[in-house]
Structure 1
Amino acid sequence: MCGRFGFFELKYFIEQLRQLELPFEEEEGFAFHPCYNIAPESNIVTLLAESGRYTLAEAYWGLIPHWAREMPKVRPINARSESLSVKPYFRHMLNRRHCLIPASGFYEWQRSGGAKKQPYYIHHVDGRPMAFAGLWESWQPVDAAAPPVRSCTIITTRANHQMAPVHDRMPVILEAENWRQWLQAGKPGAEKLLEPSGEGTLDIYPVSTRVNNPLYIRRDCIAHLEETNPG
């Protein structure tokens, strides 16, 4: 799964979009706030695709389907790639509302004996920002005067060999050359991109348990455990 990540490199993500000649617009009022420890139910940066247009905007991390009559108690932060086409929560968005969710890296917890878990930080070995494959939706509350709520979920897949000792799942990390294909949701072949990352592309190292607290968002969240006072 992917339940926590960081994003603090927007300008580099934008540079990649321009290098790939992926034209986009920033939603009016869009503002970026770097964060080293992003938790579910936060508003996160997304590149939304709809009708051939790409928009850099914020979306609530926790999917709310458009057909919900009221705010659902279950708002999935992850969607398993293997069941996207059959799960009612996701199948109406597959091949219709795709998005990229940029990240500098993500966290996963490995059980190290008893109830204790050791957090790890995972990022591209070359330091480039990541882009997770995602789905997004717009939901209108019962109160017609209330603004619609845009939400998203991160697609996960089985772990590659590098990730497997830490966790059996990982987010789908799209290589930059595949960003356009994923965003072009109506074209065939996008689902073939929902595979684990190539071996050797990630750097994985332990970090302080301070990251367990979703309110702790400082830069030292991503510091190698040997560089911090364990806490």
Structure 2
Amino acid sequence: MCGRFSLTSPAEAVESYFDLDPIEPFPPRYNIAPSQPILIVMGYTDRRAGVSETARQVRLVRWGLVPSWAKNPADMPLMFNARSETAADKPAFRGAMRHGRILIPASGFYEWRRNGNERPQPYWISPARGGLIAFAGLYSPFMAPDGSEVETGAILTTRANETLGAIHHRMPVTIPQADFDRWLDVRNYEPRHIADLLRPADEDFWRGVPVSAEVNKVANMGPELQEAVEEVELREKSPAPQMELFGS
């Protein structure tokens, strides 16, 4: 599951990592929550000068996918995660898996470890090597009841590897740089051609540290959310978290 994540690298780093044309600067975001705008990278066909080439562009979309066929998003759950094992077959995600695969730039994500009746312990989980990573995502535009088009997205998840399994049984799918083109190329690669990418990260890819329960509140957005704390002290002193997690 991935119910909160972070993107703190500057625009220049995103441009370099994803091989993009210059993009507008943006502030660091330490606590991105479902229904908020997220930055995505998508492929498109550039036909300038009579040459057809595959290029990449960025967009801001709502985190919480709404299928193009939806009549009213208010009647649907907030689908900010999609299980990679079944996404190609589920009506809500089938079209996006075939036509709307995207990359979602991130610096890491938060997960909550539950232990019986104890308060859930939040963890900040980031790449051990540091820097940016790319979540595998799905994109879907839909026509809102007022006639406007709303662009939406979701993060694909898979089973957790052993490193993170003690925290949660699910984790976001990450796409290596070497596979960006294949993942984004929906014209030449069907879901069955990229199924091998929907796997857990290597055991040494992530590192997780316990952090303050302040991350439970969407209004808290500072870098202190990612500072490690003593887990026992957190359980004794912090108020009961106001969890705002959805999906799986």
TM-score by length of 2: 0.83
AA aligned opposite 2:183: W
**How much has 1:184 moved relative to structure 2?**
1.0
**How much has 1:179 moved relative to structure 2?**
1.5
CA distance in 2, matches of 1:48, 1:85: 18
- Rg larger for: 2
Which residue does 1:33 correspond to in 2?
Answer: 27
Given the alignment of the two structures, is residue 49 of structure 1 paired with residue 17 of structure 2, yes or no?
A: no
Instruction: Give unmatched runs, 5+ long, in structure 2.
Output: 46-53, 239-248
Which residue does 1:6 correspond to in 2?
Answer: 6
SS of 1:101's equivalent in the other structure is strand
Question: Does structure 2 conserve the Cα–Cα contact (< 8 Å) formed by 1:49 and 1:97?
Answer: no
1:60-75 to structure 2, matched below 5 A, reads: 60-71=62-73, 72-75=75-78
Which residue does 1:137 correspond to in 2?
Answer: 140
CA distance in 2, matches of 1:31, 1:44: 14
Which residue does 2:86 correspond to in 1?
Answer: 83
Which residue does 2:95 correspond to in 1?
Answer: 92
Given the alignment of the two structures, is residue 218 of structure 1 paired with residue 222 of structure 2, yes or no?
A: yes
AA aligned opposite 2:164: M
* C-alpha distance 137-8 of structure 1, shift in aligned 2 (>3 A): same
- 1:147-191 Cα shifts (integer Å, max 9, x gaps): x10000000000011010000000001112112211112333222
SS of 1:215's equivalent in the other structure is coil
Given the alignment of the two structures, is residue 123 of structure 1 paired with residue 148 of structure 2, yes or no?
A: no
1:148-227 to structure 2, matched below 5 A, reads: 148-188=149-189, 189-226=193-230
CA distance in 2, matches of 1:204, 1:3: 15
CA distance in 2, matches of 1:180, 1:100: 10
* C-alpha distance 25-138 of structure 1, shift in aligned 2 (>3 A): farther
Does 168-177 or 7-16 show the bigger shift?
7-16
- 1:25-69 Cα shifts (integer Å, max 9, x gaps): 75xxx6623210111000011112244442211010000111112
Question: Does structure 1 conserve the Cα–Cα contact (< 8 Å) formed by 2:88 and 2:98?
Answer: no
Which residue does 1:106 correspond to in 2?
Answer: 109
* C-alpha distance 107-39 of structure 1, shift in aligned 2 (>3 A): same
* C-alpha distance 73-95 of structure 1, shift in aligned 2 (>3 A): closer
SS of 1:83's equivalent in the other structure is coil
Question: Does structure 2 conserve the Cα–Cα contact (< 8 Å) formed by 1:24 and 1:56?
Answer: no
CA distance in 2, matches of 1:5, 1:66: 25
Aligned length: 221
Does 212-221 or 65-74 show the bigger shift?
65-74
**RMSD (Å) for aligned C-alpha atoms:** 1.9
CA distance in 2, matches of 1:104, 1:53: 23
Question: Does structure 1 conserve the Cα–Cα contact (< 8 Å) formed by 2:15 and 2:22?
Answer: no
Question: Does structure 2 conserve the Cα–Cα contact (< 8 Å) formed by 1:98 and 1:133?
Answer: yes
- 1:101-157 Cα shifts (integer Å, max 9, x gaps): 11101000001340510001111111121110000011112333x3x1000000000
CA distance in 2, matches of 1:190, 1:84: 12
Instruction: Give unmatched runs, 5+ long, in structure 1.
Output: none
CA distance in 2, matches of 1:95, 1:36: 31
CA distance in 2, matches of 1:153, 1:194: 14
**How much has 1:24 moved relative to structure 2?**
4.8
Question: Does structure 2 conserve the Cα–Cα contact (< 8 Å) formed by 1:25 and 1:54?
Answer: no
* C-alpha distance 63-142 of structure 1, shift in aligned 2 (>3 A): same
